[in-house]
Amino acid sequence: MAAQGKIRIGTRGSPLALAQANEVRDRLVAAHGIAPDDVEVAVISTAGDRIQDRPLSEVGGKGLFTQELEEQLFGGRIDLAVHSSKDMPTVLPDGLTITAFLEREDPRDAFISSKARSLMELPQGAVVGSSSLRRQAMIRRLRPDIEVVQFRGNVQTRLRKLSEGVADATLLAIAGLHRLHMAGVATDLMDPDLFLPAPGQGAICIEGRVGDARPDALVEPLNHDATAMALVCERAFLAELDGSCRTPIAGLATVSDAGIAFRGMILTPDGTQAHDIARNGDAGDAAAIGREAGRFLRHQAGAAFFDSWS
């Protein structure tokens, strides 16, 4: 344990990451009657936050947002790490595991612009800023006349760039805007039938050490079963399709009394080619459904399709 019975939560330092870590802290306090001072939030700088001048696909992908946090977990300096699920690689280091998923927020993408009410209403030749290959590819698929430019930075940085006229519009996860109490900046919400979210989008996950009894017991009441099943499906889909920041992949699973419904999509970065799939089944088969969907799309698209990802 990190220190004299205290629980230490590791997080990135952005306002959104801190909001997510503080949500986990508050839930731990409420679930167990822990004194707030006994749950400490430790800010850890990650390479993904420090590198702002290049696309993530060029410098290491999703692991850039988790590596330093995982090193602190291994070293025993923190007990839990809090992440956005969509930032998590599908393969974790030996000895670490995802111990809980909080109940998912709205997974949709928010369109933000002062120039148009929606993506489809932007004028021809407008500029949209995004650092996500998925969003870039889907924008180009729906609006090939639009110019898409790189738009790195946290939520506040991207909104500042938008106000400075670097782009005419951008897209952000509405879940993050809700957590920052900034949902009012959204101009429109993208229909998932037209603009499928990223796997894991909207869900906070907690990472810990395998077999670490006390932290595991503390986070257990925070786990939301339906969200966990959905994320197992989405992460299995990602794992079959590489799932790094080099790949435009979208996917969303929903769990209900009827079972699990999954839809996934792969695109070429220029958005000119896309393949999608829908699958339904028993929620207990979430991982198998995700894996099968990924294998099907890989076979359907063919080897040449994936050459554009390299």
**Catalytic residues, which ones?**
87
Q: Cβ atoms within 10 A of the Cβ of 125, count?
A: 9
Query: Per residue in 258-294, is it b (16+ CB within 10 Å) or e — as a string?
Result: ebbbbbbbbbbbebeebbebebeeebebbeebbbbbb
Query: Per residue in 22-43, is it b (16+ CB within 10 Å) or e — as a string?
Result: bebbebbbeeeebeeeebbbbe
C-alpha 38/C-alpha 189 separation (Å) is 39
| E strand or H helix at 71 | helix 67-74
C-alpha 99/C-alpha 218 separation (Å) is 10
C-alpha 125/C-alpha 116 separation (Å) is 13
Q: What is the CA radius of gyration of the chain?
A: 19
Residue pair 173/201 in contact by the 8 Å Cβ criterion: yes
Contacts of residue 228, defined as CB under 8 A and 6 or more positions apart, other chains included, come to 100, 101
Q: Which of 276, 302, 287 is nearest to 194 (CA)?
A: 276
Let me know if 51 is exposed, middle or buried by CB neighbors in 10 A (0-12, 13-18, 19+). Answer: middle
